[in-house]
Amino acid sequence: MLTGPFPTGYLNRTTMRDLLLVFEYQFFQNAVMAAILTSIIAAMVGTYVVSRKIVFIAGGVTHASFGGIGMAYFFGINPFLGAAVFAVLSSTGIEWISGRGKVREDSAIAILWSLGMALGIIFVFMTPGYTPNLLSFLFGNILSVGRSELYLLGAFCLVTIAVFAVFFRPILYTAFDPEFAKVMGIRVAFFRYLMSVVIALAIVFSIRSLGIILVLSIFTLPQITAMLFTRNFAFIMPLASLWGITGSLSGLLASYIMDIPAAASIIFFLTLQFLLIRLIVTLRMLMLRKLSQKPVKG
Amino acid sequence: MKEALVILRDINAGYHSEAVLSDVNLEVYPDDFMGIIGPNGGGKTTLVKVILGLLPPFSGSVSFPRGKPAIGYLPQVSQIDKSFPITVKDLVNSGLKSRNNWFPQLTAGQRKQLHQMLDEAGLSAIASRPIGDLSGGQLQKALLCRALINRPGLLILDEPDTHVDKAFEQELYSWLRELNQEMAILLVSHDIGTISPLVKTIACVNGQLHYHPSNQLSEEVLKVYNCPVDLIAHGPIPHRVLKSHDHA
């Protein structure tokens, strides 16, 4: 096991041996695990988010959590605890507002979005001295994920899988047609709130690796990539996990080779992957259409 | 005297303390096939939601003298998000009783019920397709299957004849006539002309509800009911002399 400093490898200096060497570093192994676990969590939760077309809500919750981070710095508690509290409160709050139908939901989300950021900035400003890792909350720092954080991430990943496995159908049916689900006796409000808590926590767990500004893409890009192949809710989740993992691992590796920030590189590769697959799918469809249009020779 | 399935007494209902329905009384019997007509905003869908228990009324009562029956519900198709990634199979399955209908894997009994329902509707071939791929008629059929898979005693259809072609409409109506042998049907429509030969009785809803114990209505009667519905587009409607009602 190597413990030396992270070798800054530029493209022209990198050999295959260098590339494989990096996997022997503990911090890189941790980063790979974090990328895989975050991809699985975001794939499942993101499938729900994209299907219900509530990406904007997820964005609001993400940014509102910055208020919690700032407050936690000010009071000297764990920033992730602060983020989790703010995320859960804003997520369930939006659910509550949308259930009452008296306030315009999109305006309420915009207010939470910017208010969270404002509170975060104010509290960070008022905190005396140096605020460590502040930038890593905004842009993520997957290379500094520790063992204990990995265990937490793994535990939450298991919880998310369990929630979707046990409540698969009520979750799907309330997402698709809440009114009908209510007629069928499903406890719609319970599942809506359960999911808003799961969404909030999934976002906070992903912020650790990808940062507030970049996190939304891992909740949407793997899903829309998966939806190029299937429009079956149950199949989108595993397929999005796969695309999340391939995209984030290639992003991670590229960040090492080219010495660029990991989170940004991951997002770039998730997007590139989507565009490439989209292109292939479209070309294949055009080819099939051309083949079927060819006149049959008699 | 036969016992009613549903009784609505002095219902006042609406949204955000703004009343849409006032003093509505209605009884639905097990063999009823009732057309519910009225102008847009008149309260047809509100009435349906009160019966379904989705909207608690401001005052009045909804009772089920024979015990609460299984209710099949077909919402307006505009309420359905066609881009949602759900298959026909899962859509129809969502009409099964919620108890034991949790896990991704279906039980053998649920699978059997599902296949029977899809066979009956002729949807087996497209069972694994996402609903976004369906035609208007196919989607209505799938939604109707979702409403019927529980074998309801009362079937409520909210505008089932929108976005479908004439051929499907005829198929739908003959299916409904058959289903009426087993269950009461409430059919909401703004198109009295097409449903009139199908239904047995008519309720006109425009704030208030006027029950009409026959399927034949004239324009004069609709005027008396304060229920402006377009009759002209569908040619001559059989005319019947009715006793006058006191609401104008």
Share of chain B above pLDDT 90, in %: 54
Confidence of residue B243 (pLDDT cuts 50, 70, 90): very low
Query: From the list A166, A172, A184, which residue is nearest B98 (CB)?
Result: A184
Nearest to B75 among A167, A168, A179 (CB): A179
CA distance to partner chain B, nearest, from residue A206 (Å): 24
When CB atoms are compared, the residue of A101, A180, A230 closest to B94 is A180
Closest residue in A to B130 (Cα) is: A231
B146 vs A180: CB contact, 8 Å cut-off?
A: yes
Within a 13 Å sphere around the CA of A261, how many CA atoms are in the beta-carbon half? 14
Q: What is the pLDDT of residue A107?
A: 87
End-to-end CA distance of chain B: 31
Nearest residue in chain A measured CA to CA from B133: A231
ipTM: 0.87
Per the CB < 8 Å rule, is B85 touching A169? no
In which residue are the tokens 């991951």 written? A266
CA distance B55 to B48: 9
The shortest CB-CB distance from B52 to any of A51, A183, A231 is to A183
- Per-residue model confidence as pLDDT tens for chain A (298 residues): 444 445 554 445 556 777 778 888 899 999 999 999 999 999 999 999 999 999 999 999 999 999 999 999 999 999 999 999 999 999 999 988 887 767 788 888 999 999 999 999 999 999 988 777 788 889 999 999 999 999 999 999 999 999 999 999 999 999 999 999 999 989 999 999 999 999 999 999 999 999 999 999 999 999 999 999 999 999 999 999 999 999 999 999 999 999 999 999 999 999 999 999 999 999 999 999 888 876 655 4
Site from A48, A163, A167, A177 to mutate, B interface, most B CB atoms within 10 angstroms: A177
What confidence tier does B231 reach under pLDDT thresholds 50, 70, 90? low
Residue of B nearest to A226 (CA): B85
Q: Which H or E run contains B214?
A: none
Report the residue of B68, B98, B186 to disrupt the A interface, i.e. the one with the largest count of A CBs within 10 Å: B98
**Which candidate, B20, B29, B67, places its Cα nearest to that of B48?**
B20
Number of Cβ within a 10 Å radius of residue A148: 8
Question: How close is the nearest chain B Cα to the Cα of A191, in Å?
Answer: 12
Measured in angstroms, the CA of A189 and the nearest CA of chain B are apart by 13
| CA-based nearest residue to A69, from A108, A115, A121, A130 | A121
pLDDT category at B230 given cuts 50, 70, 90 is low
Model pLDDT, residue B17: 78
CA-to-CA distance for A157 and A138, rounded, in angstroms? 22
Residues of B in contact with A175 (CB under 8 A): 84
pLDDT at B244 (0 to 100) = 36
Q: Report which residue type is found at A256.
A: Y
In whole angstroms, what is the distance from residue A122 CA to residue A119 CA? 5
Q: What is the pLDDT of residue B194?
A: 75
Q: Are strands B6-15 and B18-28 parallel, antiparallel or unpaired?
A: antiparallel
* CB spacing of A180 vs B98 below 8 angstroms: no
Mutate which of B45, B74, B78, B90 to test chain A, going by most A C-beta atoms within 10 A? B90
pLDDT at A239: 98
| Most confident of the ranges A17-31, B176-190, B192-206 | B176-190
What residues contact residue A230 under an 8 Å CB cut-off, 6+ apart?
A236, A239, B85
Q: Point out which residues pair with A295 in neighbouring strands.
A: none
CA angle B28, B32, B38 (to 5 degrees): 75
| β-strand partners of B74 | B157
To the nearest 10°, report the CA torsion of A95, A100, A101, A107: -50
Query: What is the least distance, in Å, from the CA of A105 to any CA of chain B?
Result: 17
By Cβ distance, the residue of B52, B84, B133 closest to A51 is B84
Distance from CA of B103 to the nearest CA of A (A): 5
Q: Which residue of A has its CA nearest to B100?
A: A169
Nearest CA to CA, how far is A62 from chain B (Å)?
24
Contact B94 A182 (CB under 8 A): no
The residue type at B120: E
Q: What is the pLDDT of residues A209-256, one digit of tens each?
A: 999 999 999 999 999 999 999 999 999 999 999 999 999 999 999 999
Q: Is the pLDDT of residue B19 over 50?
A: yes
Q: What is the mean pLDDT of residues B137-164?
A: 92
Q: What is the mean pLDDT of residues B30-42?
A: 89
Which of A8, A113, A136, A21 is closest to A63 using CA atoms? Answer: A113
**Minimal CA–CA distance to B149: which of B111, B181, B187, B184?**
B111
pLDDT at B1 (0 to 100):
56
Q: In what order do the strands lie in the sheet with B18-28?
A: B18-28, B6-15, B59-63
Taking only the tens place, the pLDDT of each residue in B92-118 is 999 987 566 677 778 888 899 999 999
pLDDT of residue B38: 86
CA distance B85 to chain A (A): 5
pTM score: 0.88
At A102, list the tokens: 């008296």
Q: Cβ B84–A170 below 8 Å, yes or no?
A: no
DSSP line for B139-180: HHHHHHHHHHTT--SEEEEESTTTT--HHHHHHHHHHHHHHT
Number of CB pairs, chain A paired with chain B, less than 8 A apart: 82
Query: Chain-centre distance of CA A126, in angstroms?
Result: 30
Q: Which of A205-219, B181-195, B204-218 shows the highest mean pLDDT?
A: A205-219
**Cβ of A176 and B81 within 8 Å?**
yes
A232, B87: Cβ pair inside 8 Å?
yes
Distance from CA of A128 to the nearest CA of B (A): 48
Whether residue B24 is predicted with pLDDT greater than 70 in this model: the reply is yes
Chain B residues in contact with A184 by the CB 8 A cut-off are 94-98
Angle at A63 between CA A62 and CA A66, to 5 degrees: 105
> A68 is written with which tokens?
């919690």
**Confidence label for B235 from pLDDT (cuts 50, 70 and 90):** very low
